[in-house]
Amino acid sequence: MLKLRHTGIALIVSATLGLSACNQETSAENKPSETTAAPTPAEAKQFIADAQKELEKLQHPAAQAAWAYQTYINQDTAAVSAYLSEKLSSRASQLAKEAAKYNDVEVDADTRRQLNLLRNSLVLPPPGDPAKSERLSKIGTEMEGMYGAGQYCRSEDECWGLTKMGSMMATERDPDLLLEIWQGWREVSPPMKPLYIEQVDIANEGAQELGFANLADVWRGKYDMEAEAFEQELDRLWGQVEPFYDALHCHVRAELGEQYGEDVVPQDKPIPAHLLGNMWAQTWGNIYDVVKPEQEMQVADVTAAIEASGYDEVELVRQAENFFSSLGFEQLPETFWERSQFQQPRDRDVVCHASAWNVDDVDDLRIKMCIQKTGEEFAVIHHELGHNYYQRAYNHLPLVYRGSANDGFHEAIGDTVALSITPKYLKEIGLIDEVPDSSNDIGMLLKLALDKIAFVPFGLLVDKWRWNVFNGKVPPEQYNDYWWELREKYQGVMAPVERDADAFDPGAKYHIPGNTPYSRYFLAHLLQFQFHRALCDIAGDEGPVHRCSIYGNEKAGKALDEMLRLGQSKPWQEALQILTGKPEMDATAIMDYFAPLKVWLDEQNKNRQCGW
């Protein structure tokens, strides 16, 4: 199972880390002409060149401070990180506003793209008011700290952090204990609500200063298409996947009903959220033992294989590096091994949420994880390194182009590689002794679908919630009710107990207090299968796409690298066409991958009541 996380430092502003802003004087050399004459194409080109040069100087220390804070949470690292992020984000905000002054200047297509990307580069645009800008930064830092240090205390002597509780959610089958853990973690989020309300108000003001109606239009406007058209595109893709999800939901609910009784899991209602093996019920792979096929199936137990191999955390990362090396990619720099966080320190609070960083935007690549030696984490490591190799591939481009074609591409690349962690690959690297024959595929596909298919509606609804919060359609008193309305509508998942209106359950998910846009994960879960299908074709694999591994195929690696090196220099549609041969996102690839499972699920569900 793949956890979800954000990329570390990206583009101009480390906004995915919650970095924001305070005011800073505009340097004279970067000001457009203050005469009455209209700005010229030459001035526009000089402006964008100077702006990126200045931001590069500000970005590096801000990234170093953010790393220090996330790997050593205390008052001092919080203060330094907030201060430097203010300097970076406020300057980026000023330059984004200045970029708008060149909107009507006729410049070449490359300069126009760079100007537009600069204008739309901020996740939380700070307003020009220095006090509000500083407050926005402090709120972000404070909420991240609250999340990172959050824990549930059963008594004075027994407190659990999220890592332990997440592990218990995955393995425990006592519904009362699961409910206690589920409720316990959600004690961390109510204190965030007033901060979040304030943050939305301030960031909306900043968005309006940039010429947007609200923050929702900023977030939806980063995809080389109109904001409304982008939301419609997500709905179109969801429509392709929804019938498969409904079939999976029906099977899982029926099996949970047998496990816990239909009084706990009614067969005509959404599934209680605490029973799905994950703190947020976003992926369900941890309950495979409950919902697996009755017939005996040989499914590779990667966790047991890792245990038997004696791999430590660093060796797991080196094995993931080996996968990329087999495709022809250069090995990671020595500084990666010296500076990354692979384990949770015993002496301090850290943000364990896995993330990938390029701290100097050149080759200071790192990952930040609290690795557990499981099959799930082995896939997560491959995912995070996918970010790093993407970051390295585009590091030769101008600053505003140092990002993925769209943010879903960044998340998809590592997951694409993880789809090649097949039994064939595991055998080649010595983790298992034999590849199960195709009669065992239903078990493997079901286990993967519990993560990949089950996640899709959650990936869609998180930003649907935020967009309607940002645009004011959902007022603060309705935050929690609307959250559960969306979760029931799209996921068929419900709160296991009645939730207070001020519970602020969205804040119990990292990406809300961390202000990481979430549509990228929805897109990534579909794009990865589109990428995988294309790479398997390029590699010449003639078997079922779900059994394909591109491990060791440099032809596939070269094709992948060709797309990665474009960064954000071209619209995502062009990057997609380079690898897949077509410019449209297409969820039929995920349907192709899981096709044998759909046949099996329909057979299982023949006499069941489906829907909610």
Marked catalytic residue, from 384, 405, 479, 539: 384
The 3-state DSSP class for residue 159 equals strand
496: which 2 tokens? 């296991």
Which tens digits make up the pLDDT trace of 566-595? 999 999 999 999 999 999 999 999 999 999
pLDDT recorded at residue 298: 76
Task: Band the pLDDT of 17: cuts 50, 70, 90.
Answer: very low
Which tens digits make up the pLDDT trace of 135-153? 998 999 899 999 989 999 9
521 is an active site residue: yes
Which tens digits make up the pLDDT trace of 301-330? 888 999 999 999 999 999 999 999 999 999
Instruction: Tell me the average pLDDT of the chain.
Output: 91
Residues 303-322 as b/e (b if ≥16 CB within 10 A, e otherwise) read: eebbeeeebebeebbbbbbe
Task: Band the pLDDT of 36: cuts 50, 70, 90.
Answer: low
Task: Band the pLDDT of 216: cuts 50, 70, 90.
Answer: very high
Residues 25-63 as b/e (b if ≥16 CB within 10 A, e otherwise) read: eeeeebebeeeeeebeeebbbebbeebbebbbebbbebb
pLDDT score of 35 more than 70 = no
pLDDT recorded at residue 440: 83
Marked catalytic residue, from 288, 510, 521, 551: 521
Give the residue-averaged pLDDT of 55-62. 95
The terminus-to-terminus CA distance of the chain in angstroms comes to 26
591: which 2 tokens? 């349907």
Q: Which of 596, 567, 572 is nearest to 583 (CA)?
A: 572
By the 8 A CB rule, do 123 and 514 touch?
no
Helices (H), 100-174: 109-119, 130-148, 162-171
Instruction: Provide CB contacts within 8 A for 464, sequence distance 6+.
Output: 486
106 is an active site residue: no
410 is an active site residue: no
Residue scoring higher pLDDT (439 or 54):
54
Marked catalytic residue, from 383, 525, 532, 546: 383
pLDDT score of 103 more than 90 = no
Looking at the DSSP assignment, which residues form a beta bridge with residue 368?
341, 355
pLDDT recorded at residue 435: 86
Q: Contacts for 423-429 with beta carbons within 8 Å, 24 or more apart? A: 423/300, 424/547, 424/549, 424/551, 425/323, 425/549, 425/551, 426/300, 426/302, 426/305, 428/551, 428/552, 429/319, 429/322
Marked catalytic residue, from 387, 410, 532, 546: 387
Which tens digits make up the pLDDT trace of 194-208? 999 999 999 999 999
pLDDT score of 3 more than 70 = no
pLDDT score of 238 more than 70 = yes
Give the residue-averaged pLDDT of 42-48. 96
384 is an active site residue: yes
Marked catalytic residue, from 354, 412, 524, 559: 354
Looking at the DSSP assignment, which residues form a beta bridge with residue 158?
155
pLDDT recorded at residue 411: 86
Marked catalytic residue, from 6, 353, 382, 525: 353
pLDDT recorded at residue 18: 32
By the 8 A CB rule, do 372 and 167 touch?
yes
By the 8 A CB rule, do 285 and 303 touch?
no
556 is an active site residue: no
Q: Which of 412, 378, 434 is nearest to 576 (CA)?
A: 412
251 is an active site residue: no
pTM, two decimal places? 0.85
Query: Alpha-carbon distance 116 to 101, whole Å?
Result: 11
Residue scoring higher pLDDT (167 or 93):
167
Marked catalytic residue, from 511, 525, 532, 546: 511
H helix or E strand, kind and range, residue 365:
strand 365-368
The 3-state DSSP class for residue 500 equals coil
